[in-house]
Structure formats: C-alpha cells, structure tokens
Structure 1
C-alpha cells in the first residue's frame, strides 16, 4: 500500500518556527523551572513569587499551568515534524515499506529509551512507560499510519480515539467500599479528589490504573507494582496519540500551498476553538481537564494552546522574518533528543563539576535565596553550550 499526499512531493522550506518552538520547549524542560519554585519559598509573603512557583510545577490534578504544557508541546511537535520528515523521505525515493519499518524502529527505540532513562540510578531495569519519549514511541507507528491521509480521516480517528478513551473511564465502575486505597497510593480524603460523575477520573481509581496493575507486573521487577505515585499511566499514550495527530494536521497545513496569512489564521482559529471546547467539557462536568492522565478534555484544551503557540512562532519567525532572537532555541531544537538525554544523565555531573572546580558555594554568589536559580541557569548554560558545539559541527542526534 502506498499513500502520496497531494503536496508530499513538493519540497517545503525548513520551518524555523518549529525548531524554535521545540527548542524553547526543551530549554524549559531542561531548566527544571530554573529553580524558581525553591526561590519562592524564600518569599512566602509575595503573591507574585507564589504564582511563579505555581506555574513552574505540575498541578496536583485538575487544571493547567505553564509547566503542564511542556509534554503536550513536545508530543504535538512530533506530529508537525512527521508531516515534513516523511515527505522528505518520500522525495528521496523511500518506499512506503521502508518508511513503515523506520517508523516501527523509531517507535521501539523511543519506547525503550524512556525505560532506560527512567531506570537511571535504579538497582534494575525499571519497566514503566509514562515517560514522554516512551509515550511517543508507543503511539508513533499508529501516527505514521495516518500520515498522508486526508485531514478528514485524521480528525475522525482523533475524535474516535478521544471518545473511546472517555468511554473507557466513564463506564469503568467507581471504587467500591472494599477498594484498597492504600495499595493504590490514594488518600480517600485527598483535597483534589473529584466527586460526582467526574470521580471516574480520580487518581489511581480508574481503568488505566487497573491496566497498569496487570500490565506492569508482567515485567520482571523486585517488588510488585501497586501504583504510580503521580497518577501517571501507560495507557495515556492513547489520548496523547490524538495530540500528535493534531500536530500532524498542523504540519500538513503548514506544508500546503495555502498562503502564509491564511495558514496563520487557521492555526489561531482552530487553537482558540479547541481551547473553548476543552474548557467547556470540563466546565459542564463531561470530562475534567487533567494532564497527569491525559483526559480527552486535556488533549483538546492543550492542543489548542499548542496551536496558538505554533501560530505565534510561525507568524513572527516565518511570516515576519524576525528570526535572530530565536537562534539560541533553534540550536537546541535541532538536537532535542540530545538535550533530553543530557537532562536525565548529565545534570548531576555538571553540578558537581562546577562545585569541584569553582567551589562548593559557587551557586550562592547572589545569596542563598537565589542559589537554586543560579544553579539551574549554570547547568542549563553548560548543556546549551554542548548543543551549540554539536550544532556548529552539524552533529544532530536522531533516531
């Protein structure tokens, strides 16, 4: 079987805005929030600092803050990138079979890379699949199967995925009186527990949790898996596939021969609409917005924000031609896998190296209250310089 989208054989200019968006996202992730949440603890009476701290950490359950948007941005851009990368492979003469095998290989490697990174500092392989690259890997082949299809097909599949996942939770029975909340790692009196119909999306009392209790215990582990403390689940790759599909649709739009202004307006209009729909699903108690379990309402709402962010980058960089300010992010955006791996493996070593050669108190240069900010900025600078070195030598880590 072969698929040849109408514009697939027409070369498209490199989307600098995508590199910049990806780079800013990866810099945010690698920064660890710049340690601002810790700085805020030294300013307990400052409403500004407390709000900054709130934006730099994942919410306990329902809602959305800036830090929650890193993962959906990453996954959304996987879809945008696919629209370009496989069109490029097709122009080079790759057959559909070759591209499918590449997608399958990439999916497997990404899935296992997430396991590898999550196993860092563990006594054995830590078989878990909630890491963002594992989630991308699990859905990657399914995303590829939609590449080259019409926007109508892609959108229909995304909606079916979200409706089906909503139904899985909505019709899963609520915990009975004999439910073992302790083994699920849940306090039944937790202040963030939802009530009424929304209780179907409570932490570790849902269908995805039950699946993980079965599935993750199929892998060798020294202790029985009982729960994920953060409420994350393997099956979140299903609704997050819809996030990647929306990204794929956006990528195909940007590759299309439509005028740049029209593309910009479509991105803005669909982004605003998606945010409104996602918010309404939460507001009318149809489905709460919960990033940790990637609820359908979260998928739609966060995808809307991603569309608006992409539109902003596209409008300023590709349409407006104002690119100089984004260069530091482009350097990272073209090596996103590299900085992701460095974030997991090198941050501790970089911190210790600074202290070894510059003194244990080097991060206190502006006082103890700002030490975490200085530390995170110094580590981020070191990783950015590595990316810059790779960029200048045209070394790009790809899977």
Structure 2
C-alpha cells in the first residue's frame, strides 16, 4: 500500500539546512530579565545559571509582573473562575469581560468593543464576518490579516508598504476596471506599527485615500495599544477615531495579558457577536486574562510607564546609531539592519554570549538582504540595563566584523 502520510524528517532537515529551524527556549519568568533554558524538546527544561537581559519581548510596558496586574488576575480567578467555561454566547460572558470592553471602548473613542480569545482570532473573525468584496492590504501586514483575507471570497489587492500613493493608485485601477454600477464593498487593512520594521503607517493619508473611494478602514493596533496618548494607539495619537471604522489590537503585548479586541460602532460589534466564527465558536477569554488586561490598560493610561518606555527607546536608538548601526522604523521597535543572514545570526549569538537576548530576524520573515536584530526595550529596563545592551552591541558588533 502507498504511504500517503507526511515525511516530517525531510521537512525538518530542509529547515535545518536553510538555518530556518526554530526551537523553544523556556524562561523562568516574563520580565526585563530572566534565566533561559537551552532547547529541550519534550524533556523538562534545565535553566541556565546566568541571568540575561531581555530586549526581545513585546511586553513593552513591563507589566507582566506588575503587582497591580497580578492582583487583578488573582481576584478575578477567585471571584469569577479560572476559565470562561463556554462561548460568550452561552455562559462565558461575565462582568469582567464587560468591564474590559467598556474601558477599551473609552480608550479607543468608540461606541463599543469586543474581546476575542486572541488577536489572531480578532483579525480573521472580523475580516470574514464583514465579507468584503475587495480588500486592499499593506504588503507587510501581519499573518493574521493575510490569513483573514485568504479565508474570505474577497479579491485581495496588495499595496506598497506604508505607501498611501500606491494604495490610491491601486484603488483607482480597481475602479477603472470595475462596472460603473457596481456596489462592491471595499476594506482597507493595515497594521499601525509593523512588528518587524518598526514603521508606522501614514494613517491620515490612508484615510484620505479610502474616503476618496468610499472604502472602510481597518487598523490593527497590536503593537501600539497602550503606548500612545491616554493609553491608546496611533489612531488616538493622530485623532482619527472618527475616520477609522474598525480598530483592533491585542491584549498580549503592552497590556501584559492574552487575547484580542475589536473596537467600533454598536452595529459593528453586534455583527461580530453574531457572525464572527472565531468569536462565536471559541470559549470566552479567561476572566483572569480579561481582568489583567483591564488593570494594565488602567496603569498605561494613568501611570508613567509610557514615558519611561519612550525614554529607553530614545536612549537605545541614539546609542546604536552613534556606533554606526542603521536602525529602522519610527516606533518602540528598533530593528538593527545587518543585511546578511549569517552575519545577523552571528551578531545575535554574540549578544547572547554577553547575556543580552535580541533575536536575528531573517528571510522569509523579512526580504532577502535585510536580515536584522529586532531590539525591543521595556519601560522596566533601567538606565544600567540600556547601557549594558549598548555595550553588548558594541563588543558583539566588533567581534563579528560589523563595526
């Protein structure tokens, strides 16, 4: 009988040969520093004895071990339970969820918000529930947006990264090719902060283009929520709440929890409650996660964590550029451009030898010739930590011949 299974050994060997095979490296805690274990497969990990500085996390505000956030999660677990127990449409809808959604809507300047079990689920659920005829998508959008586009019957048209002129020309071309009497629904989708490049989408120009053609705009604020004015994202920083019909984000980055959200009009949220399959057919977000995110958002809005983060970002960018490194982007994500894949891997390894964790990002995640080290500081890194990171880059860069 023919073997119709899968040759997994060959797949893994191919990944190994291409230096693309990834491994899990457990850490003792999620914070600005920790003890890491070498890849252990299915065995229990054994933590290394050297503590490393973490400049690779999306825990931008450093709130995962904040006492207030931890206490909120504990109280929710003790009062409501550790899990929702069912879909929100069955018995999994609790006051903890409603409190989080109220605060998210207030922060995002919308009528209502809806919490999903993940940011990934929020993206695919929203795009598929809307059932657009045509989607215009930034070429560097997150995989969850790309997969959401693939799951619809929509024609997806990709425009050049952060280029509103490219978007406008693609929309005009589509209009010229379409029947003049068409009633197509058009959706423009973009991240606000792009996780591998640190770039920030020109949202006002994107809104201008969309409005010129009557399209809706959907913005994923995964890497921006909590970091800008009043704990909002780029949409809030630029005052575009009335021009962006759909705002999304995650609770798992600056908000130190798990899950995702969508914010918009009352009608949008009601449609998602009924039609977003990733919401309808998923158990509700765990109450401790919802409570942790709610408290983290409160801290982001009313504390000084955002200011401390941006101070660290400025210090790191200035220091890296003064050494001669090219740092991309305009956000809290600082991609240090290396170029060659092997050089990037060598630099990441040399940094790790100096107890600084900052990963090499290489193709196919980024285009050929643009391999980089993705540096992401936290608000909880102190000045000594930032100086140690910079010194590690100076020594490691010299060791591998990049400085």
**TM-score, with length taken from structure 1:** 0.25
Q: Which has the higher helix share?
A: 1
Which of the pair has the greater relative contact order for Cα pairs under 8 Å at 6+ separation?
Answer: 1
Q: Which has the higher strand share?
A: 2
**TM-score, with length taken from structure 2:** 0.25
